[in-house]
């Protein structure tokens, strides 16, 4: 029948047959046969559609790919792919294989990302495992729609409710089912979308598998950075009342007196006015007094006064510390991926920095080094010469989570309202700004890329500083009134009649 023909059966139904390009090894391919058309016009239209697809490119390789696409699309949808869509893919050299799923592409995407750090890779892997594969993985990549991605985020929000309900339940089985899951907030949802958008951009730019990125136009709630609040007396009193109510409720639920660990768990988990809370200078002083006898006192002082990140403090090395010059080089960090600690350099050039040390911190570090030497002597051959400033009793690097757990215990023992260990960094910035330290120096001490970020992030104002500023402002008026005559500065004409405004 040559390049293509059509005919009508005795029952008035029309059919056509069309020769397809041979396989790459020269073997003849079975012709495309289609039947069941109700009119000659209908069969003519589809035959011309098929011929137009095969005529899009003279390259035999491309023609074979188009034929494969035609057959697979007919099998899935019982219709030929649109000519303009295929023409665009052929012109832009996109892959015409329609069977690549989201899961298959994301696996390829991860395989290609060889030059990313371990933290970023683990983040990508978590997003793919927890969200993309369960919700989107089965969808063909070229058929992924904006509504599919929006539906994924709706499902994540629904699961947030499941987590919250299960955690509040008295059923151990329900609580165990979500033990390692926590609600996904707006900021995390934006990070999930960034990962998917990046993976789909690679599919567009490198492989031309798709020509539109649906993740780029999905709308999400604003991921506003939570405002840091200072623990004022009023906030502490309100929080303390809620703490005691929760302690009583938890004790009644268990039917027994809470253990120390259980009490601290309620202490940490009782809701706060903001996710980010800042201690006052008096609170920080009380914490450091409580921590003074602990072997990690110098670590907590560095975070509280110099604003080191947890990983930077844990990763500080003796070779980068010069106690005579009063400096410490922040050139290494130990971060946490799941439970696994990972050593590496700071992620940004600004984070790789040298900070100045005050005299009391230098004294604390000297005492710490002396204590560490005694621990080395006591450990003998069991000692590990890791080179880190802060180690366990046999010289091994500290696990970051152990530092956080000890911090909560010390804060609890000091009778202080809870803050996260990272919030000590907010406190350090607030202390520096309240002390009149130049914003540029605060930025460099904290390791920020720009002072704008420092200014926008660390805006907590201590009540006593705010009151002092208010008094200073009012004093300018009082001083001007006391020291000068109440003179008229301009001469106004005498006004008569009704002057009511």
472 lies in some domain: no
pLDDT of residue 297: 97
Question: Is 61 part of any domain?
Answer: yes
Whether residues 270 and 398 share a domain: the answer is yes
Task: Retrieve residue 209's tokens.
Answer: 């598998």
Give the residue from 191, 216, 241 where a domain finishes. Answer: 216
Q: What are phi and psi of 486, to 5 degrees?
A: -85, 70
Look at residue 341 and give its three-state secondary structure: strand
Please write the tens of the pLDDT for every residue from 215-236. Answer: 998 988 877 777 889 999 999 9
Mean pLDDT of 4-17: 76
pLDDT of residue 115: 83
Instruction: Answer for the pair 65, 53: CB distance below 8 angstroms, yes or no.
Output: no
Q: Which of 19-23, 143-147, 247-251, 343-347 has the lowest mean pLDDT?
A: 343-347
| 253: CATH | 1.10.443.10
Whether 302 and 441 share a structural domain: yes
Q: What is the mean pLDDT of residues 147-162?
A: 89
Taking the C-alpha atoms of residue 501 and residue 498, their distance in angstroms, rounded to an integer, is 9
Amino acid 2: pLDDT = 41
| Residues 106 and 87 occupy one common structural domain | no
Q: In whole angstroms, what is the distance from residue 465 CA to residue 473 CA?
A: 12
User: How is residue 111 written in tokens?
Assistant: 């395989």
How far is residue 453's CA from residue 434's CA, in Å, rounded to a whole number? 17
pTM score over 0.75: no
Residues 273 and 342 in one domain: yes
Residues 377 and 435 occupy one common structural domain: yes
DSSP 8-state secondary structure symbol assigned to residue 397: B
Kindly give the pairing relationship between strand 353-356 and strand 277-278. Answer: unpaired
Contact 286, 416 (CB under 8 A): yes
| Tokens, residue 370 | 């002396």
- Do 198 and 323 lie in a common domain? no
380-423: pLDDT as tens digits: 999 999 999 999 999 999 999 899 999 999 999 999 999 999 99
Strands 32-37 and 277-278: unpaired
221 within a domain of the structure (yes/no):
no
CA–CA separation, 444 and 355 (whole Å): 8
Q: Is 326 in the same domain as 276?
A: yes
Write the pLDDT tens digit of every residue in 57-105: 999 988 998 998 899 888 878 899 899 888 877 876 766 766 789 999 9
**Pair 186, 316 in one domain:** no
In a domain, residue 32? The reply is yes
Number of domains observed in the structure of the chain: 3
User: Residue 447: which pLDDT band, with cuts at 50, 70 and 90?
Assistant: confident
Provide the 10 A C-beta neighbour count for residue 280: 23
- Examine the domain organization and report whether 416 and 279 are in the same domain: yes
Residue 474 lies inside a defined structural domain of this protein: no
Q: Is residue 224 part of a domain?
A: no
CA distance 169 to 1: 72
* pLDDT higher than 70, residue 473: no
Per mean pLDDT, which range of 1-10, 109-118, 202-211, 304-313 is the poorest?
1-10
Calculate mean pLDDT across residues 279-306: 95
Is the per-residue pLDDT at 261 higher than 50? yes
Q: Residue 10 sits in which domain range?
A: 4-91
pLDDT band at 499 (very low <50, low <70, confident <90, very high): very low
Mean per-residue pLDDT, 363-376: 97
Task: Give me the pLDDT at residue 358, please.
Answer: 93
β pairing state of 14-18 and 353-356: unpaired
Clarify whether residues 46 and 69 are in a common domain.
Answer: yes
CA angle, 218 then 220 then 224, to 5°: 145
Asked whether the beta carbons of 73 and 89 are under 8 A apart, the reply is no
Which of 91, 123, 143 represents a domain boundary (last residue)?
A: 91
User: What is the per-residue pLDDT for 501?
Assistant: 43
Q: Could you tell me if residue 493 is inside a domain?
A: no
3-state secondary structure 48-107: HHHHHHHCCCCCHHHHHHHHHHHHHHHHHHCCCCCHHHHHHHHHCCCCCCCCCEHHHHHH
Percent of the chain surpassing pLDDT 90: 48
The HSE-up count of residue 451 (CA atoms within 13 Å, CB side) is: 8
- The bridge status of strand 229-230 relative to strand 277-278 is parallel
**CATH number assigned to the domain comprising residue 153:** 1.10.150.130
CA distances from 154 to 219, 220, 263, 299, 324 (A): 11, 10, 35, 42, 57
Average pLDDT over residues 47-51: 94
pLDDT value of residue 244: 93
Taking residues 278-303, what's their average pLDDT? 95
Whole-angstrom distance, CA of residue 309 vs CA of residue 332: 11
Are residues 386 and 427 located together in one domain of the fold?
yes
The share of the chain scoring above pLDDT 70, in percent, equals: 87
Of 187, 216, 245, the domain-final residue: 216
Same domain, 321 and 428: yes
Give me the pLDDT at residue 383, please: 96
Residue 222 domain flag? no
């Amino acid at each position: 029948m040559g390049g293509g023909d059509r005919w009508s059966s005795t029952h008035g139904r029309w059919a056509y047959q069309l020769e397809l390009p041979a396989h790459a090894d020269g073997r003849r391919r079975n012709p495309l046969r289609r039947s069941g058309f109700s009119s000659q016009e209908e069969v003519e239209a589809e035959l011309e559609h098929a011929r137009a697809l095969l005529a899009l490119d003279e390259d035999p390789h491309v023609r074979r790919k188009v034929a494969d696409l035609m057959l697979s699309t007919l099998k899935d949808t019982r219709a030929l792919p649109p000519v303009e869509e295929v023409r665009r893919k052929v012109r832009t050299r996109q892959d015409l294989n329609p069977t690549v799923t989201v899961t298959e592409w994301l696996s390829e995407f991860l395989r290609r990302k060889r030059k990313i750090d371990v933290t970023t890779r683990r983040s990508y892997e978590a997003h793919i495992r927890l969200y993309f594969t369960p919700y989107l993985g089965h969808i063909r990549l070229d058929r992924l729609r904006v509504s599919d991605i929006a539906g994924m985020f709706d499902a994540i929000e629904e699961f947030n409710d499941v987590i919250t309900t299960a955690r509040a339940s008295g059923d151990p089985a329900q609580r165990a089912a979500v033990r390692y899951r926590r609600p996904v907030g707006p900021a995390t949802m934006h990070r999930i979308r960034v990962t998917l958008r990046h993976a789909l951009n690679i599919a567009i730019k490198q492989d031309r598998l798709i020509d539109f990125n649906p993740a780029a136009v999905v709308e999400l709630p604003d991921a506003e950075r939570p405002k840091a609040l200072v623990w004022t007396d009023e906030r502490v009193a309100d929080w303390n009342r809620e703490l005691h109510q929760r302690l009583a409720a938890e004790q009644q639920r268990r039917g027994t007196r809470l253990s120390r660990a259980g009490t601290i768990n309620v202490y940490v988990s009782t809701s706060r006015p903001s996710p980010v809370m800042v201690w006052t200078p008096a609170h920080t002083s009380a914490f450091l007094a409580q921590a003074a006898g602990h072997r990690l006192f110098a670590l907590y002082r560095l975070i509280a006064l110099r604003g080191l990140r947890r990983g930077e403090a844990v990763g500080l090395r003796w070779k980068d510390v010069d106690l005579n010059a009063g400096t410490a080089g922040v050139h290494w960090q130990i971060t946490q991926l799941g439970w696994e600690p990972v050593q590496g350099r700071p992620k940004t050039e600004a984070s790789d920095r040298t900070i100045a040390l005050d005299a009391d911190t230098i004294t604390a570090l000297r005492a710490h080094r002396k204590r560490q030497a005694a621990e080395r002597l006591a450990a003998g051959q069991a000692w590990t010469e890791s080179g880190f400033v802060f180690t366990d009793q046999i010289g091994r690097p500290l696990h970051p989570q152990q530092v956080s757990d000890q911090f909560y215990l010390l804060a609890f023992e000091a009778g202080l309202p809870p803050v996260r260990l990272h919030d000590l960094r907010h406190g350090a910035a607030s202390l520096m700004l309240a002390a009149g330290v130049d914003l540029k120096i605060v930025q460099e001490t904290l390791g920020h890329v720009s002072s704008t970020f420092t200014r926008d992030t660390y805006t907590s104002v201590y009540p006593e500083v705010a009151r002092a500023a208010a008094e200073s402002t009012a004093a300018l008026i009082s001083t001007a009134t006391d020291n000068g005559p109440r003179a008229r500065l301009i001469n106004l004409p005498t006004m008569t009649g009704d002057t009511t405004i």
